[in-house]
Amino acid sequence: MLGGFFIVAIKGKEADQETVDFLKTFKPSGVILFSYNIPDSVDELREFLYSLKGKVGYNFFFCVDEEGGRVMRIKTPFELPPARQIGEMYEKGMISDEDIFELGEKLGSFLASCGVDVNFAPVVDLYGYNFSVIGDRAFSSDPLTLGKIARAFAKGMKSGGVLPVAKHFPGHGLVLQDSHKELPVSYCDEEEIKKHILPFKMVSDDVYGIMTAHIVLKNLDSLPCTISRRCIAELKSFFRGCVITDDLTMDALKGFGSIGDVALLSFEAGCDAILICKPDYNLLADVFEKFSKDVKKRVSEGRIRDSVQRVAFLRFKRSFARKSSI
């Protein structure tokens, strides 16, 4: 069973037997936490996460979307403003790279103390383009400014003990629609696409993963980036870490088959880790079984080994050989 290529959602706030049995059987590499998984206190959360790892008995990572502002799964004991507020203060000279590093470090230290290993942040989408789903989750409309802020924030989180994952490549600012609800399509030209990709290149040496966006760039491919070989090849041309899909249960991908079908398509395209945010253990079991059965028929052993190594960067906090991005 090749469950190690998956990151999954789980039920509830306790290490119940159903969840333990599921994780033991299918062994996903990661578990993503949502607000419904978070107990009332940090002590209870820490006990829950450590207890679950102990009962399951193998090494997996806990991850979360802890961006600041309106995207916060765990209540922090300090203020973590929306990214755009941070960006505005940076642009006005009110805060520096060091201040942003310290904020990231503070967040990383807090999450690590809770038992969280990976944070799906920073958001590296450009501000001012997409207000349906991104809005104030983005730091800046200027690619270079955004790249500098995201880089400092990511370095801080890593220093604090949590591995950062940038999102959503190649930039959700390239489209207007919300990929949770529909499939966004962009007709932007090559120069505009390069502008949105630049911040990802800038942050690529300081994050351990980059998450894909379920968006179509018509000037690159007719398929959504998550299942586009051309889009993922562009990402892997400058990034050696783990490429993670956004949630495969989002409506943007409904026209491309079942979740099991899309999981295989995303892996074939070059993604290394597959995110499924629906805590339905029967559904997940079916996806894992289909994937494990079909992937070796359609993907080379060398490519599978490469993705195992990339997932290991997150799973075992391994370092990887970076290369200069800009």
CA atoms within 13 Å, Cβ hemisphere of 164: 31
- What are the Cα distances from residue 326, in Å, to 106, 142, 185? 28, 16, 28
The two tokens of residue 287 are 């996806």
Query: Distance between CA atoms of 60 and 62, rounded to whole angstroms?
Result: 7
> Active-site positions?
180, 246
Sequence-ordered list of residues with C-beta below 8 angstroms from that of 153, at least 6 positions apart, any chain: 86, 100, 101, 103, 104, 121, 122, 164
What residues contact residue 80 under an 8 Å CB cut-off, 6+ apart?
66, 68, 69, 72, 103, 107
User: Could you give the CA distance from residue 154 to residue 112 in angstroms, rounded to a whole number?
Assistant: 14
**Alpha-carbon span 225 to 169, nearest angstrom:** 8
Please tell me the distance from the alpha carbon of residue 234 to that of residue 189, in angstroms, as a whole number: 15
Using alpha carbons, select from 137, 111, 198, 206 the residue that is nearest to residue 165. 206
Query: In terms of Cα–Cα distance, which of 167, 142, 152 is closest to 91?
Result: 142
| Integer Cα distance of 231 and 210 in angstroms | 13
